[in-house]
A and B are shown apart, each in its own frame.
Chain A
Amino acid sequence: MAGLFDKFRVNRPKVDQSRSDETQRAELPSDLWIKCSDCGNAMYRKVFLDNSKVCDKCGFHHKLTAHERLELLADPGSFEEWDKGLFSGNPLGIEGEYLEKLVSDRKKTGLEDAVLSGKIELTGIPVGIAIMDFHFRGGSMGSVVGEKITRMLERSGDLRFPALVVTSSGGARMQEGMLSLMQMVRTSAAVRRLNDLSVPYFCLLTDPTTAGVAASFAALGDVIVAEPRAIIGFSGARVIEQTIRQKLPPGFQTSEFYQKHGFIDMVVPRSELRATMARLIGMFAQPVLESPA
């Protein structure tokens, strides 16, 4: 999986949010403005945030933090966090800046690792949820991410809550070596247990969902929803280009591409996401909640 943790550079400029903010400051007089990382459209920061970070010109969906995602989806005040206090180790004894980056990402995101999990209510329906955050080490899946997602799926099974994972990840966390690859197995096994319990499992794929995360629990939803133009796939675009020595077609490895090829049920814009997820999960809520096996 040469694409693991690759920066998925496809047909649009890869813009580091913090850097674009800096350039922004240099070009424009204040922090009031923000530039779309896709089309370059300048927006009032307030408009941008009110619009859930969707560009009002081209409709590009910028990455949300886990907390922003929670705010977008959950009934206000309904979130109850599960499995706090789990931290990544350094099983390979990696030297250098990795441990420092864990610390600074914790500070930056307010998260302990790249996933936030717990219970929410969605229009009153209790849902087990895990939200990955790309701003924490690229959303990479190490032992903690695998553990928290597995525990969330197991607990959702115990409680007969429908389960939802919101993905945003470049893949496995290289710094944990093969331990990170094995997270693909334990999370997938936990999904199959939910299937056996007839507890519905949903995936919401957001930008990006690739490599080891795409190739495990993100692909296994009873229903799979994606946000528009999210980058999805197994191998990194750069690796594919280098292997086949040709340019990739426009729109390759996007949500729309995978919907066309039969791997995604629905592509839903952020403005309709909460309502659509509530309708979708509501379809399963009654029988599941009323008849614990």
Chain B
Amino acid sequence: MSMILEVEKPLLELENKIKELKEVNLTGRVDLSSEIRLLERKAEQLKKSIYENLSAWDRVLIARHSVRPGTLDYIQALFTDFLELHGDRLYADDPAIVGGLARFEGRSCVVVGHQKGKGTKDNLARNFGMPNPEGFRKAGRLMSLAHRFRLPIFTFIDTPGAYPGIEAEERGQYEAIASNIALMTELGSPIVTLVIGEGGSGGALGIAVGDRVLILENSVYSVISPEGCATILWRDASKAEQAASWLGLTSDKLLRLGLVDEVLSEPLGGAHRETENVFATVRGALRRHLGELLLSTPAELVTSRYAKYRRMGVVLEQALTP
């Protein structure tokens, strides 16, 4: 497993050491069990101190980690009978957004999410999880379907952003996102959204308007990429690390501002380290939130969703003085 965090290196070295000692121990020539126990305790402490002090930028890197579970992993782990549906019925099928019908705990639903690739070839095919307009329109079509048949909607968010390309603009990237946002505010289906990795601005929001918006602890959700922000503020993309802490994109900050409803904890080191554990957490949260939402009528859902977003803003009655 490729590790990308500089801060994780000492831990990795220690874990390798423990592995070596364990192998030697197995030969039975010397008894190293007390040394191993000592090192394991040390590793546990190190792990804690590393992951409890992650910077915003560290979390950006974890959120982008190439082996972090993606939408299809969650679908496979938490849903049954997934039937992937393709295309926006207008232009094309966009592999950067996957969606279809599935069952969650026996109940039919619609599930939609961004999908990054695994490995270079797959990543190219999926455009690194950056949707074109047809991806948003496919998602909109599936969510409208859900609305008509009163099916719950789950969306999984994991994208660097909407694709910045000539054809994407020609086919109305901005219109596709706007239409989905507006659509999602008026669907009678319960909508549960989970940010599983990178929430890249409008490209994320295009499928992320929900009755409940949840986020995994190490996921990030940002109005602009840290690199883009650094370029604009300081004309220097290499200051992305600084921009990350500036932008308030981490789960704890989003929760504090009331922009997400719940932060789901991850195993130390990130979701990719103990995926079964993460899937269990997510399953429990989805079940709980959906259960609560199913108590409301479609009209009540639309009304309370409007009220939820209506509150999102910080407006003062007096000007701030610098």
Contacts and interface: CB of A to CB of B under 8 A. Distances in A.
Interface of A: 1-6, 85-92, 94, 99-100, 102-103, 106, 112, 143-144, 146-147, 150, 172, 174, 176-186, 188-189, 191-193, 196, 210-212, 214-220, 232-236, 239-240, 243-244, 248-249, 252-253, 257-258, 261-263
Max chain B CB contacts within 10 Å: which of A103, A232, A235, A261? A235
Contact of A191 (B173, B182, B249, B322): B182
Given A184-B202, A215-B173, 6 more contacts: A112-B319, A182-B309, A188-B182, A232-B174, A233-B169, A252-B169
A99 B320 contact: yes
Contact of B202 (A99, A143, A211): A211
Nearest to B202: A1
B162 A1 contact: yes
Contacts of A183: 312-313
B259 A87 contact: no
Contact of A4 (B169, B186, B223, B319): B223
Instruction: Name B's interface SS.
Output: mixed
B185 interface: yes
A49 B305 CA distance: 46
Interface string B219-251: 001111101110011000000000000111100
Interface of B: 161-166, 168-175, 177-179, 181-182, 185-186, 200-203, 205-206, 209, 221-225, 227-229, 232-233, 246-249, 253-254, 257, 259, 305-306, 309-310, 312-322
Contact of A179 (B174, B313, B316): B313
Given A100-B322, A178-B222, A86 B317 contact: yes
Given A4-B201, A177-B223, A182-B312, A235 B162 contact: yes
B315 to A, nearest CB: 5
B247 A92 contact: yes
Contacts of A244: 164-166
Contacts of B162: 1, 234-235
B182 A220 contact: yes
B248 A235 contact: no
A233 B166 CA distance: 10
A1 to B, nearest CB: 3
Contacts of B318: 87
Nearest to B318: A87
A257 B186 CA distance: 31
Contact of A216 (B164, B181, B315, B322): B181
B181 A89 contact: no
A248 B169 CA distance: 11
15 contacts: A1-B203, A4-B223, A143-B313, A143-B314, A176-B314, A178-B221, A179-B259, A184-B205, A185-B181, A188-B185, A210-B174, A212-B223, A215-B202, A216-B182, A219-B172
Contacts of A188: 178, 181-182, 185
A212 B224 CA distance: 10
B260 to A, nearest CB: 9
Contacts of A90: 320
Contacts of A217: 178
Contacts of B322: 99-100, 102-103
A245 to B, nearest CB: 11
Nearest to A1: B201
Contact of A240 (B166, B171, B306, B309): B166
Contacts of B206: 215
Contacts of B306: 189, 193
A183 B223 CA distance: 11
Nearest to A261: B170
Contact of B166 (A85, A89, A216, A252): A252
B166 A2 contact: no
B315 A239 contact: no
Contacts of A248: 166
A179 B320 contact: no
Contacts of A88: 314-316, 320
B164 A2 contact: yes
Contacts of B321: 99, 103
B228 A2 contact: yes
